[in-house]
Chain A
Amino acid sequence: MKFSHILLIVATGVFGAGCSSIENSRDLANPKVSATTLAQQVCSLCHGIDGNSTSPKFPNLAAQQPTYFMAQLKAFRVHNRLDPEGVEYMWGLSRSLTDEQIKGLAVYFSAKTPAPVPGATADAVTIAAGKGIFEKGIPEKGVTACSACHGPQAQGNEDSPRLAHQHADYIVKQLTVFQRTEERHEESTMKTVAHELTRKNMEDVAAYLEEFPAQ
């Protein structure tokens, strides 16, 4: 049997086995595609199948607060969230999602278990400084404690995202967006909170949240 014949048989098998199926669809404009399918076929490519992303370029979504999650996807969809990576990556992906699909995605990722960020290796001094800011804020600068809104376990609530085990680089970049731009204008509280933070403050609290040692 010729090599090309073998390949043709393989090709026919592949076509037959994987005939167009909505369970494996990557169509972002079909309301019939389930949120689970979209999470697996599209979102997981950057955010991980379990909501724990490999690259710090993309935020972890595991156990993210569903209400907050839905608000963000809707903000991307109507172009209310203008931070660069939101514009570059999320505006397009969210543009045709239905409310039902967005709700389903929130349920999917909120049910996932967060994993510690691999390779988080901040030193003890940084972690202690970050913990201090997270739990007590910086009173002399009027910076409130992060835990006041994000919860003592950084687990978040309806309006505030979960931060525990989030990538440090992502947190620093978002704090910078809040502090220096109007790109996330819907979350004005964070502009006030981030106003007095130095770069070092941001890095300390981000390192602490990324590692989030057991209490």
Chain B
Amino acid sequence: MSSPTYRGQRWHLKITAYGLGLISLLTFLLPMQARAVPAFARQTGQNCVACHAGGQFPELTPYGRMFKMTGYTIGERTIPLSVMGLASSSRIANAPAGTAKTATPILATASVFLAGKITENMGAFTQITYDPYAVDNGDGTFSGHSNADNMDIRFANHIVGNKQDWIYGVSLNNNPSLTDPWNSAAAWMQYVPVPSPSSSQFIDGTAPYPGFASGGNIAGLNAYLYWNRTVYAEVGTYRTADRALSFMTAGASPRTQLNGSNNPYWRLALSHEWGPHNLMVGTSGMLAHVYDDPTDTSDPASVGKFRNTGLDAQYQYILDPHTVTAQVAYMKTEQTYSDAMSAGLSNPGLGDTNTVTRAKLGYTYQAKYGGSLSFFNLKGSTNNQSDPATSGITYEAFFIPVQNIRIGAQYTSYNKYLGASTNYDGAGRNASDNNSMFLYVWFTY
């Protein structure tokens, strides 16, 4: 039996332990307040707002774009390690039966970044993401899974003269347009990230966006050039991320299978900066040869073709305390069905064409309080597919209490879903039933 003295000592020990724990936690947290954020910020010693417009990652400022284009090499080498986490809660206006984790706070995803300067001319931005809800076991439980996320390893050189300014480089990456410095490019023109449980199946991150039909998790080698901070040109080609390149899609299953290495990607953009304003107008495209079934590449007749053509523009006004961003992107996807698939279609020999238009207007005050309004509209032909027409509006409000934490509320409302506003599934479900509220806390260090 414990004596009063002994119990007193135990309490004393407990209080001391809690105290030490609290001090350790504060010691860990306090430096974040002063000089937070990932490896890049530690490398330059700068605040998030230097590279991210209004502090809202991932959107880049003109300087942030230069940091990226010069291969993430500005600054001094540090430990190239960062972490990111997302806690969230999603609720669907009229959730389908069996929807998992409705209005339940969850730790949605966690990422580790290996990012930063490697040599004078080489740097990397690589992300590995853990998804605790990757697999729904069907009995109310989930299994977690990690996979390679964004990966961009690049070499760059910057030749600066009084009249001429050239940046050129090459990038090994795993997602078409991930390399792009503007956030109206396909890989960046979307609210991210998206938790896996079905309660998040209609949030903006899952809504149509102007992406490339090949999707991510492939391997590309791109070369780019930026002349006098005016003309940006990039060409690249993609292939299946297998053999030595398999690390770029590690954990992704099934891995997208492209036919051969001749899946070209291109990008051309014109940019101009004046006073606190900057504007970019650009175009991009890709031709991808994709196997119908990523688990079966035995039949050469099972390769479909996707031709993407995109237009996009971005305007920014950045002058304290205001940051305004307007983005618009349009992407056309022309699909030619594989011979194997075409034979069984109702209109053999005919392809299908989809177009996605997205526009977004964002504002941040003092890099602390912000919001955005986004519009999306997907239209498509119906030769051999059911009507994909989906459109809606997303509203977002967020608060950045310290530079590495963002707390947001995002609401996506649908005017049309899979071809109709009402009874789109033939079972009485309306597009507005999918309207979704998404609350999140996004943290990075």
Q: Tell me the bound Cα distance from A68 to B311 in angstroms.
A: 47
B223 near A10 with CB under 8 A, answer: yes
A17-B157, A20-B120 known; A96 vs B76 contact (CB < 8 Å) = yes
The residues of B that contact A85 with a CB separation of less than 8 Å are 320
- A15-B170, A84-B320 given. 5 additional CB < 8 A pairs? A2-B262, A26-B158, A41-B160, A88-B49, A118-B275
Q: Tell me the bound Cα distance from A169 to B73 in angstroms.
A: 31
A55 near B276 with CB under 8 A, answer: yes
The residues of B that contact A88 with a CB separation of less than 8 Å are 46-47, 49-50
Interface presence of A27 (CB below 8 A): yes
Partner of A55, one of B156, B157, B275: B275
A24 near B120 with CB under 8 A, answer: yes
A7-B235, A54-B275 known; A25 vs B45 contact (CB < 8 Å) = no
Q: How far is the CB of A19 from the nearest CB of chain B, in Å?
A: 8
Within 8 A of A (CB), among B31-70: 35, 41, 44-47, 49-50, 62-63, 66, 70
Can you list the 9 inter-chain pairs with the closest CB atoms, starting with the nearest?
A92-B45, A18-B157, A29-B76, A88-B47, A4-B261, A20-B120, A40-B160, A92-B46, A26-B74
Interface presence of B279 (CB below 8 A): no
Q: Tell me the bound Cα distance from A33 to B189 in angstroms.
A: 38
Partner of B157, one of A24, A27, A42, A118: A24
Query: Which residue of chain B has the shortest Cβ distance to A91 in the bound complex?
Result: B45
Within 8 A of A (CB), among B276-296: 276
A169 near B319 with CB under 8 A, answer: yes
Interface presence of B91 (CB below 8 A): no
Could you list which residues of chain A lie within 8 angstroms of chain B, going by C-beta atoms?
A: 2-4, 7-8, 10-11, 14-15, 17-22, 24-30, 40-42, 44-46, 49-50, 54-57, 84-85, 87-89, 91-93, 95-96, 118-119, 169, 173
B162 near A49 with CB under 8 A, answer: yes
What class of interface size applies to chain B in its complex with A? 35 or more
Interface presence of B310 (CB below 8 A): no
The residues of A that contact B222 with a CB separation of less than 8 Å are 7
Q: Tell me the bound Cα distance from A40 to B161 in angstroms.
A: 8
Partner of B121, one of A20, A40, A46: A20
The residues of B that contact A55 with a CB separation of less than 8 Å are 62, 273, 275-276, 318-319
Could you list which residues of chain B lie within 8 angstroms of chain A, going by C-beta atoms?
A: 35, 41, 44-47, 49-50, 62-63, 66, 70, 73-77, 117, 119-121, 155-162, 165, 168-170, 221-223, 235-237, 239, 260-262, 264, 273-276, 318-320
The residues of A that contact B261 with a CB separation of less than 8 Å are 2-4
A3 near B264 with CB under 8 A, answer: yes
Q: How far is the CB of A105 from the nearest CB of chain B, in Å?
A: 15
B158 near A24 with CB under 8 A, answer: yes
A14 near B169 with CB under 8 A, answer: yes
A15 near B155 with CB under 8 A, answer: yes
B320 near A57 with CB under 8 A, answer: yes
A20-B120, A27-B76, A54-B273 known; A4 vs B66 contact (CB < 8 Å) = no
Q: Tell me the bound Cα distance from A46 to B62 in angstroms.
A: 9
22 contacts between A and B (CB under 8 A): A2-B262, A7-B223, A7-B236, A10-B223, A14-B169, A14-B223, A15-B170, A17-B157, A18-B156, A21-B120, A24-B158, A26-B75, A26-B158, A27-B76, A27-B117, A29-B77, A49-B162, A55-B273, A55-B275, A55-B276, A55-B319, A89-B47
Partner of B274, one of A22, A45, A119: A119
The residues of A that contact B119 with a CB separation of less than 8 Å are 20
Query: Which residue of chain B has the shortest Cβ distance to A40 in the bound complex?
Result: B160
Considering residues B46, B239, B318, which has the most beta carbons from chain A within 10 angstroms of its beta carbon?
A: B46
B47 near A11 with CB under 8 A, answer: no
The residues of B that contact A21 with a CB separation of less than 8 Å are 120
Partner of A26, one of B46, B70, B165, B170: B70
A2-B262, A24-B120, A50-B162 known; A56 vs B223 contact (CB < 8 Å) = no
